[in-house]
Amino acid sequence: MRKRLIAAVLPTAVSAIAAVALASPPAVADDSPTWCGSWLSDPARASNQRTVKHTTLNVGDPGQNIMVREGMYGGRWYAWAKLVNGGETDLVALGWVNQSDGEYYNCGSRDGSSGWAQRYYTAGVDDAHAYKVQAKYKHSLVKYGPAVVWR
């Protein structure tokens, strides 16, 4: 009887734990390790630039958006976060999940020294490393754009 009860309850418990894990918000940007690699410090150099589908979020006034952009440089695809119509004190970051270790990282300044970039865009992370990407915004609060599986 006990084995049947455990067998009946276990799948429900596992499903509930999985649902909670998926619903948990991503790590706060300041708590995630900063890692931009040395891949693409100036995304303006990439060709075939476009917005990654389903990554745009309005963060303030009409037209003030964050998004993940992608483009090709040196035969590789790169993703970076971009802020449109940001103010002097607005920050943007790229949250991304590493394919090799499944860890969540934060990419900000183009020199890799900070988890946040001022105003316009971050450094680019290549598709050999980034599995999931997400733009983040910080002014008085941190706002997360949609996270999507990338490439």
Helix/strand/coil percent split, the chain, to 5:
20, 40, 40
Ramachandran sector of residue 56 (left: φ over 0; alpha: ψ -120 to 50; beta: rest): beta
- Domain with residue 74: its CATH number is 2.60.40
Q: Compute the Cα dihedral for 23, 82, 75, 41 and give only its sign.
A: negative
Asked, for residue 132, whether it belongs to a domain, the answer is yes
Q: What is the pLDDT of residues 59-109, one digit of tens each?
A: 998 999 999 999 999 999 999 999 999 999 999 999 999 999 999 999 999
Asked, for residue 113, whether it belongs to a domain, the answer is yes
Contact 140, 66 (CB under 8 A): no
Those residues with Cβ within 8 angstroms of residue 120's Cβ, 6 or more apart along the chain or in another chain = 82, 83, 86, 92
Asked, for residue 4, whether it belongs to a domain, the answer is no
How many structural domains does the chain have?
A: 1
- What pTM was computed for the model? 0.79
Asked, for residue 16, whether it belongs to a domain, the answer is no
Q: What is the pLDDT of residues 14-38, one digit of tens each?
A: 344 333 333 334 444 456 888 888 8
- Residue 144: pLDDT above 60? yes
